Amino acid sequence: MNFFVRFCILMVGVLLEIAGGLMLVFDLNSYNYYKERFTFIEYIQIITGSYAFYLLLIGFIIIVAGFYYPASKK
């Protein structure tokens, strides 16, 4: 895999991470965290069920694949 293809894969991963991060921030801002009882388990359940979490996860997997995919042989 040459430099250009690797760079494009990394950019796609970074863009997915940015989109997922922004969506996660907006999702968590809409959650009512001023309740008197706020548990960490509730927080994790909200995050893992959201579309933003899966965008972050896919972006991370693409970035790792772009870094660790073997380079082209000469």
The residue extents of the domains of the chain are 3-68
Q: What is the pLDDT of residue 30?
A: 73
Q: What is the pLDDT of residue 50?
A: 84
Q: What is the pLDDT of residue 42?
A: 79
SS3 34: coil
Neighbours of 55 (CB within 10 A): 20
| CB neighbour list of residue 65: distance below 8 Å, 6 or more residues apart | 9, 13
The label of the residue with tokens 């991470």 reads 17
pTM: 0.76
Residue-wise pLDDT tens digits, 39-48: 778 778 878 8
| Low-confidence stretches of the chain (pLDDT beneath 50) | none
